[in-house]
Structure 1
């Protein structure tokens, strides 16, 4: 969760575009204001969504996306961010619990909801990790013991693992759209290595590909027991030797709750990357390398 994600003037400018869109009701026409898809799935979804540039100036949306891409690359090591939806929740709108395991690695939710509003609800709900039954058999719990509830504060970015069950608390109160819950949301995915410095992506990719093929051949039966992304950050000297290898992100989960083998496999991967020899370059190179467990470690798009 990142509060004050954008400079305040940038966030306010996007919100002003929304307010302006709804501000002059007498000017509304089907070709300019009937822009919403009512996303209704019985027992699951009920809210309005559209592409944000229908309400917000396109250059402002693109500026937001540039900031989000930079943040994602630095914080998560993942550089592909899907173009967002802009969603509106007025009274009665909600999302029941679901996951998005097939859509990405992480979900992002960026709020343009006014902190002062005439509605209640609209919190993002994310189930806590672990066995919620066995972890609480002897302890009385309420909502906070089972899930995290995140208020849609203005200019707040929320990012969570797409595999986690999540939803949106029902909104109650005003039907006035400017009083509702406005969020831009989408998914963050892996799209290969992020390379900066002397070496090219092609030079780095050839070495990493060979290493992952070799590692996969020796650990294929174990690799299938795990699921999720792990991201490494390598610092490579001008002589092509890896100076350090750190884990930037580890969201790997064992498919068997009793399995304890992932730390050893992770240690082996770190050792594999640390021992790599890259081509010599004119200077140092930084490589941020995602590795996705639960599928081929060396897909062509990685």
Structure 2
């Protein structure tokens, strides 16, 4: 698949660090049954010592009790759905205006109207679609790519985006349940739909709730379940960027009620964030930061190999002070980590132990001194 890369813009944050150690999920999750059995299930779930109290050479034991004076970092819950309202400022209005201009007068037999594919896969997909770079002019398309790529870098740690699609749903259009795991760690939908003025029903993005994918572990025979307890419906509000874990089965509810006019339908742009890679911004260059980061990752990988397996993407941002080269702040930007079934280990314990391990090692990293502050974004992919 082709990948659209974000331009470097002459700043360090767009220079991908070239790891000597490949960031491969097989390295992160391989461990023996004996090692997994030795993993302490009692590891703290909510907080761990991150900045103070760490030895110079590495992290403390994940299960150790922190001192009362230590600083803490909250370990995040998995977030499989992100909604960003009013994405891109005037960008969405300009995209919608271009859409209406090209399709506004059905009596004009212009070649600009002859670009949509009626995509129909029986029992799976029915919709109108067109490559976004074909439909929008070059300048507008570039603005769209730049806005999405900047968001992918800043929030998800993803350097690329897939080629974008413009899709229109009129009466009878839908997407049945499917997953997008091979395309990238995060899927997205940017809505150009005038949702509040719609003349149709349906059109929401459907996502299975995570507990449904592990149904029997949380099954309660005393409670009944209906659609709201099983499926999350996300309406395509105008200007909303919906980002979600592409591994989760999802689809689009059947659109009914707007038979002919595409201007009255569900209009969205969609694709995938791809190429999770580290970024550096600030005083340190990638060449200066890479050796220290590799040293830290080597020990991190070794300890992760002793934990039960998990799958997903975790993106962490480090703030590094120039005076000492120490990490002064650590923040989790994205987290879709879930535990693979593994014996009697509690899934929450597995993910919390993995997150604590990542944070403790990265917080203990030591970088070269520099004239100023540096921010490093590190995505870790487990598969």
What TM-score results when the alignment is normalised by the length of structure 2? 0.70
2:224 corresponds in structure 1 to 140
Encode CA deviations 1:124-162: one digit per residue, 9 max, x unaligned. 111111134644543223221111111122111111111
Query: Are 1:60 and 2:140 an aligned pair?
Result: yes
Q: Distance in 2 between matches of 1:218 and 1:10?
A: 45
2:100 corresponds in structure 1 to 19
Alpha carbons of 1:27 and 1:244: their partners in 2 closer, same or farther (altered >3 Å)? Answer: same
Query: Are 1:240 and 2:325 an aligned pair?
Result: yes
Q: Distance in 2 between matches of 1:164 and 1:103?
A: 13
Query: Are 1:213 and 2:298 an aligned pair?
Result: yes
Say what the alpha-carbon RMSD is for the aligned residues: 2.1
Compute the displacement of 1:255 (Å).
Answer: 1.0
| Residue pairs, 1:64-79, within 5 angstroms | 64-79=144-159
* From 79, 84, 87, the counterpart of 1:2: 84
* From 253, 256, 281, the counterpart of 1:169: 253
| Residue pairs, 1:18-97, within 5 angstroms | 18-29=99-110, 31-97=111-177
Q: Distance in 1 between matches of 2:260 and 2:188?
A: 25
Query: Are 1:276 and 2:361 an aligned pair?
Result: no
In structure 1, the gaps of 5 or more residues are 295-302
Alpha carbons of 1:121 and 1:275: their partners in 2 closer, same or farther (altered >3 Å)? Answer: same
The count of residues paired between Structure 1 and Structure 2 equals 291
In structure 2, the gaps of 5 or more residues are 1-82
3-state secondary structure, aligned to 2:183? coil
Q: Distance in 2 between matches of 1:10 and 1:244?
A: 33
Compute the displacement of 1:221 (Å).
Answer: 5.3
Moved over 4 A (4+): none
Shifted more, 195-204 versus 238-247: the winner is 238-247
1:285 corresponds in structure 2 to 374
Query: Are 1:160 and 2:244 an aligned pair?
Result: yes
Contact map agreement 1:193 1:201 (CA 8 A) in 2 = no
3-state secondary structure, aligned to 1:261? helix
Compute the displacement of 1:49 (Å).
Answer: 1.1
Encode CA deviations 1:165-195: one digit per residue, 9 max, x unaligned. 1100011122211111110001113431121
What TM-score results when the alignment is normalised by the length of structure 1? 0.88
1:151 corresponds in structure 2 to 235
Q: Distance in 2 between matches of 1:218 and 1:145?
A: 37
Contact map agreement 1:193 1:288 (CA 8 A) in 2 = yes
